[in-house]
Amino acid sequence: MLIPVLTGVSIIVFTLIRLIPGDVTYVILGTDPRRDQVEALRRELALDRPLHEQYLAWVSHVATGDLGQSLVYGKKPVLQAIGEALPVTVELATVSTLLAIMVGLPIAILSAVRPDSVWDFAARLVAILGLSIPNFWLATLLFLAAALWFGWVPAVQAFAYIDDNPIQNLQQIILPAIAASASFAAVVMRMTRSTLLEVLRQDYVRTAWAKGLGGRSVVLRHALRNAMIPVVTLLGLHLGSVLGGAVIVESIFALPGMGRLLLSSITARDYPTVQGVVLFLSLLYVVINLIVDVSYAWLDPRIRYS
Amino acid sequence: MLSTDPRERRNLSRRDLLRAGAFAGIGAFIAACNPNRGTTTPSGPSGGAAPAATPASGGPKVGGTFVFAETIKIISLDPHRAQQAVERAILGEVYNGLLRYKAPPAAAPNAVIEGDLADRWKQVDDRTYEFNIVSGVKFHNVPPANGRELTADDAKFSIERVSSDKPAFPFRALFPVDTATAVDKLTLRVRLKEPFAPFLGFCAFPYFNVIPPELAKENNDDIVKVAVGTGPFVLKKFDPNVEAILERHPEYFRKGMPYLDGIRMTVLPDKTAAFNAFRAKQLDITPILVPSLITAEQAELLKKEMPEVTVHLVQGLPWQSIRFNAAKKPFDDKRVRQAFSLLTNRDELIAKYTSGKATLIGPLPSSMSAWALPDSTLKAHPLYKRDVAKAKQLFADAGVTLPWKVRYLTTISHKDLVALIAQQWSEAGIELDTTVTPDTGVFYSFAEKGDFDILSFGHSGFQDPDDYFSTYIASDGARNYGKYSNKEVDDLIVKQRQALDESARKKIVTDLQMKLLDESYFLYLVSTPMHVAAHPYVKNFWVNPIIFGATRYWESLWMDK
């Protein structure tokens, strides 16, 4: 399935980016170019060739692992640009996902084992808020609250990678991770609560109670594992979405991640970078979904793949 | 103690609900009492015109890293190709030109030319200029220049490069150079293709910088990622999406300067984040470039919340206008264009679109005080006085039947302006079929094809009048998208460009502006007010209406902290 998916994605992204009016010559030459300058630059960048030739040339390079060079940013290799942006987004995705699970799961469990209690009510209210509040609003509010109420903001400077400066890295990632995790935490809460409530009514759980097992053992060891399957599915979708689309959070907190790279490339009509990044993200998405599918077998031994 | 045993269920009671509500209320009360919250205080330093940049008594302090942010990423560091103001913000610190404009308070911004790398210059004949270069100027001590001394050959190479006819070099129209000769080690002679009055002005404009030839040669003439010049700061680190870090040039030719140890420019894509970072004292100033500027409302908030901060208000060179597709009927009829001018209430645009902070403009922005028509002339002009009845009469005389739907092209940044204009014009039965493009690339692709009846856009011009006429109005102007053509106007444009006597040129420019007002190919609307705030420890800071030269004078910037 990987090859057909990537082929389809490559054709779609190649075509779509070229449908947007205006091309990269406006970005490089500005808005005052002579017609002959534009034509000469288009020849230099091979943009004057027929579309199918451009596509085949690009695909033949991709097959050898070369995603091309940026048309705009000093001919920077696309793979290098991805290599610089990906760790930032992966870290954002990982931390935000961990936060979402660390917050969402315990609250969901508490809510499920105490249905219709004050805790359940509060948890459901928090979940609704998490789903309703736009992440760009939350990101701005977090930034403002930290700055004005607590006198602290993450340093407005180049992103520090975790191996360079772990303390500054943590300072710079924590607020964006909270902003990016809020809605997923809410989804985890609701989904886990809902499935856990169903699982807790199953016969085998009743048997476990009847055997005299403690509450923790019944819920965490026996019930929760079966309730996690839909959550793992959502986890895969969430990771894919954060890896490719945390543009707003990255913009507000100036994180040089994949979302910002993609947005700036689209704005600049930097065709190779857009094509390369989208293709890479598609590959990543397929891999994540494969991992999610395999994890079902681990969670539920009844599921086996042939 | 909570139990995980589902057998111990509790339903929510009214008492529980009231208890939860009480806790929530107490929490909100505590948050509201947070002593760190900003309080509103009346008055404080007001905006108005940019205050004179005078050093405090005791002289400038040396040291510190100046931090600012812009929302636009940098694409190119090639000083002879870069066209974005944000790129000029870096290049203005790394490079020098032969000339520049005197900074306030010595002169009004961009009004008087002074030497930069050239300490003397003269006009030999109507097409030839000679520049004497300052002795002992050193390039930055980084490869490939490695701190060597600047010579006339470097200036020769640079002026030939900036006026290059190669496809990627866009400024040849500003520098119509025929030949450039290094007469001796420190003397450059430039012969132009024709008499060209704006030449010295364009030399003083930030677009012309002197580079070491080896920089271009060793990088295959592709210097978008490197910058080595003679400027007050050395480029230490550059990441186009992230930041640029500059450090003091220890052998800068203006002794004693720069005062700062360094400058850091961060790319913050979100304007609100940049504004909040300033409030959190992470930035020393708010953004200085369009479109990153703070709004009038944000400026007012700062005056209330942080009265110690200085909020500058300057009428920038960027300007807002409307133009017609003169290649399409009935917009080729002057009466139709004049009718639209009579329908436009510019005072309302100033009040509502810019919160009262902008000024009227004519064919030249009001900040070009040496050349622009005075405000009194504009206000008295019959086409600047709204008259709906007269507009309808002009439409009728031109054979236009009302109501009338017209195709209007603009960008997303102007949608508020267009909404106001649509409301004003609707009184005469004009309905707009508006296309709002998401970015300038899309906008210009429509504009180039002539796919519009009327369009509006903001422009950032140069400080010489020629750019406004030759580029936008002349029949062969590169940005004359409406294909307007008028022989009398074309003749006046050529005449002002070749009038080397300044007072004679000013007369021609005044006549040309009055003619353009009457022709109404452009409806000139309002200026762009630039609000920039600086913390009180920032000294010698002024806002340059030419955004391309925003940082060019920061060699004399210093911080008292």
Mean pLDDT of B398-415: 92
Mean pLDDT of chain A: 84
> Cβ atoms within 10 A of the Cβ of A301, count?
8
Q: What confidence score (pLDDT) does residue B52 get? A: 36
With an 8 Å Cβ cutoff, are B4 and A215 in contact?
A: yes
Lowest mean pLDDT among A191-205, B402-416, B490-504: A191-205
Kindly state the DSSP code that residue B247 receives in the 8-state scheme: E
**Nearest C-alpha of chain B: how many angstroms from A123?**
12
Lowest mean pLDDT among B284-293, B387-396, B489-498, B540-549: B540-549
With an 8 Å Cβ cutoff, are B67 and A156 in contact?
A: yes
ipTM reported for the complex, 2 dp: 0.77
Alpha carbons A159 and A85: distance in angstroms, whole number: 10
With an 8 Å Cβ cutoff, are A122 and B20 in contact?
A: yes
Those residues with Cβ within 8 angstroms of residue B47's Cβ, 6 or more apart along the chain or in another chain = B299, B303, B311, B312, B313, B531
The string of DSSP letters for A170-198 reads: HHHHHHHHHHHHHHHHHHHHHHHHHHHHH
Q: Provide the pLDDT confidence category of residue B8 given band limits of 50, 70 and 90.
A: very low
**Nearest C-alpha of chain A: how many angstroms from B437?**
10
pLDDT in tens, A254-285: 888 998 888 888 888 889 999 999 999 888 88
Which residues on chain B are in Cβ contact (under 8 Å) with A200? Answer: 6
Return residues 18-57 of A near B (CB < 8 Å). 20-23, 26-34, 36-38, 40-41, 44
Stronger pLDDT, A7 or A219, i.e. the higher one: A7
Is A252 near chain B, with CB under 8 Å? yes
Nearest C-alpha neighbor of B131 from the set B173, B95, B94, B185: B185
Return the axis-axis angle of helices A224-245 and A271-299, rounded to nearest 10°: 170
Alpha carbons B553 and A69: distance in angstroms, whole number: 36
pLDDT in tens, A124-167: 898 898 889 888 888 888 887 887 777 676 667 778 888 888 88
pLDDT in tens, B22-52: 555 555 444 444 433 333 332 222 333 333 3
With an 8 Å Cβ cutoff, are A254 and B471 in contact?
A: no
- The amino acid occupying position B118 is A
Mutation test of the interface with chain A: which of B70, B71, B75, choosing the one with the most A Cβ atoms within 10 A? B75
B437-458 burial code (b ≥16 CB/10 A, e <16): bebbbbbbbbbbeeebbbbbbb
With an 8 Å Cβ cutoff, are A157 and B264 in contact?
A: yes
pLDDT in tens, B497-549: 999 999 999 999 999 999 999 999 999 999 888 999 999 999 999 988 887 77
**What does the angle CA A55 – CA A56 – CA A61 come to, to the nearest 5 degrees?**
100
Residue B96 has which token pair? Answer: 């020098």
With an 8 Å Cβ cutoff, are B170 and A72 in contact?
A: no
Residue B531 has which token pair? Answer: 């609000």
Stronger pLDDT, B290 or A153, i.e. the higher one: B290
Contact B177, B128 (CB under 8 A): no
Q: What confidence score (pLDDT) does residue B30 get? A: 47
Q: What confidence score (pLDDT) does residue B36 get? A: 38
Contact A73, B75 (CB under 8 A): yes
Residue B325 has which token pair? Answer: 């597709």
With an 8 Å Cβ cutoff, are B17 and A74 in contact?
A: no
Alpha carbons B552 and A69: distance in angstroms, whole number: 33
Nearest C-alpha neighbor of B188 from the set B154, B145, B161, B231: B154
Alpha carbons B543 and B89: distance in angstroms, whole number: 12
Mutation test of the interface with chain B: which of A20, A29, A31, choosing the one with the most B Cβ atoms within 10 A? A31
Mean pLDDT of A235-242: 81
pLDDT in tens, B330-377: 999 999 999 999 999 999 999 999 899 999 999 998 888 889 999 999
**Nearest C-alpha of chain B: how many angstroms from A227?**
16
pLDDT in tens, A61-82: 888 888 888 887 777 899 999 9
With an 8 Å Cβ cutoff, are A117 and B444 in contact?
A: no
> Cβ atoms within 10 A of the Cβ of A219, count?
24
With an 8 Å Cβ cutoff, are B276 and A140 in contact?
A: yes
With an 8 Å Cβ cutoff, are A75 and B222 in contact?
A: yes
With an 8 Å Cβ cutoff, are B167 and A158 in contact?
A: no
Which residues on chain A are in Cβ contact (under 8 Å) with B16? Answer: 117-118
User: Quick one: how many helices (H) and strands (E) in chain B?
Assistant: 16, 17
**Between chain A and chain B, how many beta carbons pairs sit less than 8 Å apart?**
178
Q: What confidence score (pLDDT) does residue B167 get? A: 66
With an 8 Å Cβ cutoff, are A153 and B267 in contact?
A: no
**Residues paired with residue B263 on neighbouring β-strands, in sequence order:** B66, B246
Cα B89 → chain centroid: 11
Give the burial class of B181: count Cβ atoms within 10 A of its Cβ; 0-12 exposed, 13-18 middle, 19 or more buried.
middle
Query: CB-CB: which of B170, B282, B479 is closest to A156?
Result: B282
Alpha carbons B254 and B259: distance in angstroms, whole number: 11
Mutation test of the interface with chain B: which of A73, A156, A216, A222, choosing the one with the most B Cβ atoms within 10 A? A156
Contact B518, B540 (CB under 8 A): no
**Residue B554 predicted with pLDDT over 60:** yes
**Nearest C-alpha of chain A: how many angstroms from B428?**
33
Alpha carbons B274 and B488: distance in angstroms, whole number: 48
Q: What confidence score (pLDDT) does residue B44 get? A: 29
Most confident of A183-197, B56-70, B182-196, B427-441: B182-196
Give the burial class of B31: count Cβ atoms within 10 A of its Cβ; 0-12 exposed, 13-18 middle, 19 or more buried.
exposed
Q: State the pTM of this model.
A: 0.82
pLDDT in tens, B200-209: 998 998 888 9
H or E element: which one contains B316?
Answer: strand B310-324
Q: Is cis: bond before B45, omega within 30 of 0?
A: no
Is A253 near chain B, with CB under 8 Å? yes
Most confident of A119-123, A288-292, B89-93, B172-176: B89-93
Location of structure tokens 């009480």: B22
Q: What confidence score (pLDDT) does residue B13 get? A: 62
**What does the angle CA B500 – CA B506 – CA B511 come to, to the nearest 5 degrees?**
120
Alpha carbons B414 and B323: distance in angstroms, whole number: 14
Residue A88 has which token pair? Answer: 């930032």
Query: CB-CB: which of A29, A153, A256 is closest to B277?
Result: A153
With an 8 Å Cβ cutoff, are A28 and B75 in contact?
A: yes
Alpha carbons B94 and B435: distance in angstroms, whole number: 40
Mean pLDDT of chain B: 87
Q: What confidence score (pLDDT) does residue A31 get? A: 57
Q: What confidence score (pLDDT) does residue B445 get? A: 79
For a pLDDT cut of 70, what percent of chain B falls above it? 89
Q: What confidence score (pLDDT) does residue B12 get? A: 53
Backbone angles phi, psi at B316, to 5 degrees: -75, 165
Q: Provide the pLDDT confidence category of residue B70 given band limits of 50, 70 and 90.
A: very high
Q: Is cis: bond before B403, omega within 30 of 0?
A: yes
With an 8 Å Cβ cutoff, are A29 and B170 in contact?
A: yes
**Nearest C-alpha of chain A: how many angstroms from B495?**
23
**Nearest C-alpha of chain B: how many angstroms from A37?**
4
Q: What confidence score (pLDDT) does residue A290 get? A: 83
Most confident of A161-165, A265-269, B1-5, B282-286: B282-286
Mean pLDDT of B121-139: 97
Q: What confidence score (pLDDT) does residue B53 get? A: 42
With an 8 Å Cβ cutoff, are B36 and A115 in contact?
A: no
Query: CB-CB: which of B12, B69, B81 is closest to A117?
Result: B12
Alpha carbons B242 and B73: distance in angstroms, whole number: 8
B393-413 burial code (b ≥16 CB/10 A, e <16): ebbeebebeeeeebbbbbbeb
pLDDT in tens, B201-255: 989 988 889 999 999 999 888 888 899 999 999 999 998 888 899 999 999 999 9
Q: What confidence score (pLDDT) does residue B6 get? A: 44
Kindly state the DSSP code that residue B414 receives in the 8-state scheme: G
Residue B124 has which token pair? Answer: 């030999």
Is A143 near chain B, with CB under 8 Å? yes
Query: CB-CB: which of B69, B264, B439 is closest to A267?
Result: B439
Query: CB-CB: which of A20, A73, A116 is closest to B240?
Result: A73
Q: What confidence score (pLDDT) does residue A148 get? A: 73
pLDDT in tens, A77-135: 999 999 999 999 999 999 999 999 999 988 988 888 888 888 889 888 988 988 898 88
For a pLDDT cut of 90, what percent of chain B falls above it? 61
**Residues paired with residue A80 on neighbouring β-strands, in sequence order:** none
Contact B286, B314 (CB under 8 A): no
- The amino acid occupying position B133 is I
Alpha carbons A7 and A29: distance in angstroms, whole number: 33
Q: Provide the pLDDT confidence category of residue B75 given band limits of 50, 70 and 90.
A: confident
Stronger pLDDT, A208 or B262, i.e. the higher one: B262
Residue A274 has which token pair? Answer: 């857009």
Q: What confidence score (pLDDT) does residue A12 get? A: 92
Stronger pLDDT, B146 or A232, i.e. the higher one: B146
User: Quick one: how many helices (H) and strands (E) in chain A?
Assistant: 14, 0
Contact B340, B436 (CB under 8 A): no
